[in-house]
Amino acid sequence: MRRFPTNLQNLAIIGLGFPVIGLNIWVLSQFFRYFEHLITILTIAALSAFLLNYPVKILERIHFRRIPAIIGVLLLTIALLVILGVTVVPSALDQTTELIQQIPEWLQASNDNINAWEEWGKGKGFPIDFNVLRTQINAKIDTQIQIIGSQVVGLAVGTLSGVIDTLSIVVLSVYMLIYGDRLWQGLIGIIPERIGMPLSESLRLNFQNFFISQLILGIFMASTLTPTFFFLKVPFGLSFAIFIGASELIPFIGASLGIGLVTIVIMLKNFGLGISVLIAAIVIQQVKDNLLAPKLMGEFIGLNPVAILICLLIGGQIAGLLGVIVAVPIAGTIKGTIDLIRQQHSLVPQPEFVGGSIEEKG
pLDDT digits (tens, 9 = 90+) for 58-76: 888 888 888 888 888 888 9
- At 32, the pLDDT band (50, 70, 90 cuts) reads confident
- At 157, the pLDDT band (50, 70, 90 cuts) reads very low
**In this model, does residue 44 exceed pLDDT 80?**
yes
- Whether 182 and 142 map to the same domain: the answer is no
Residue 260, domain member (yes or no): no
**In this model, does residue 190 exceed pLDDT 60?**
yes
Cα separation, 245 vs 217, in Å, equals 8
Question: Which of the two residues, 80 and 158, has the higher pLDDT score?
Answer: 80
Domain holding 81, by residue range, is 30-86+167-190
Please tell me the least confidently modeled range out of 101-110, 237-246, 306-315.
101-110
Exposure b/e, 249-279, CB count within 10 A at least 16 = b: bbbeebbbebbeebbebbbbbbeebbebbbe
Highest mean pLDDT among 31-35, 229-233, 249-253: 229-233
Which of 157, 177, 199 is the endpoint of a domain?
A: 157
- Whether 107 and 70 map to the same domain: the answer is no
> HSE (CB half, 13 Å, CA atoms) of 83?
6
- Give the single-character DSSP code of 65: -
User: What value does the mean pLDDT take over residues 266-285?
Assistant: 88
- Whether 176 and 74 map to the same domain: the answer is yes
Residue 123, domain member (yes or no): yes
Highest mean pLDDT among 180-184, 234-238, 288-292: 234-238
Residue 15, domain member (yes or no): no
In angstroms, the Cα distances linking 169 to 46, 185, 266, 316, 322 are: 9, 22, 36, 23, 15
- Whether 75 and 107 map to the same domain: the answer is no
Residue 146, domain member (yes or no): yes
Residue 243, domain member (yes or no): no
User: What value does the mean pLDDT take over residues 293-312?
Assistant: 70
pLDDT value at position 248? 85
| Maximal CA-CA distance, the chain | 93
Angle at 193 between CA 189 and CA 194, to 5 degrees: 150
**In this model, does residue 192 exceed pLDDT 70?**
yes
Question: Which of the two residues, 318 and 107, has the higher pLDDT score?
Answer: 318
- At 353, the pLDDT band (50, 70, 90 cuts) reads very low
Tell which residue, 325, 356, 338, has the closest CA to residue 47: 325
pLDDT value at position 267? 83
Q: What is the DSSP string of 326-349?
A: HHHHHHHHHHHHHHHHHHHHHHSP
Please tell me the least confidently modeled range out of 26-40, 99-113, 121-135.
121-135
pLDDT value at position 339? 78
User: What value does the mean pLDDT take over residues 131-140?
Assistant: 61
- Whether 37 and 134 map to the same domain: the answer is no
- At 208, the pLDDT band (50, 70, 90 cuts) reads confident
Give me the helices (H) in the chain, please. Answer: 6-34, 36-61, 66-86, 88-123, 131-157, 159-190, 193-203, 210-231, 237-247, 254-269, 271-287, 293-297, 305-347
User: What value does the mean pLDDT take over residues 297-324?
Assistant: 74
Number of domains the chain contains: 2
**In this model, does residue 136 exceed pLDDT 90?**
no
pLDDT value at position 143? 61
pLDDT, averaged across the chain = 76
User: What value does the mean pLDDT take over residues 9-20?
Assistant: 65
Residue 358, domain member (yes or no): no
pLDDT value at position 283? 92
Residue 40, domain member (yes or no): yes
Residue 356, domain member (yes or no): no
pLDDT value at position 105? 72
- Whether 76 and 107 map to the same domain: the answer is no
Cα separation, 208 vs 47, in Å, equals 8
pLDDT value at position 10? 63
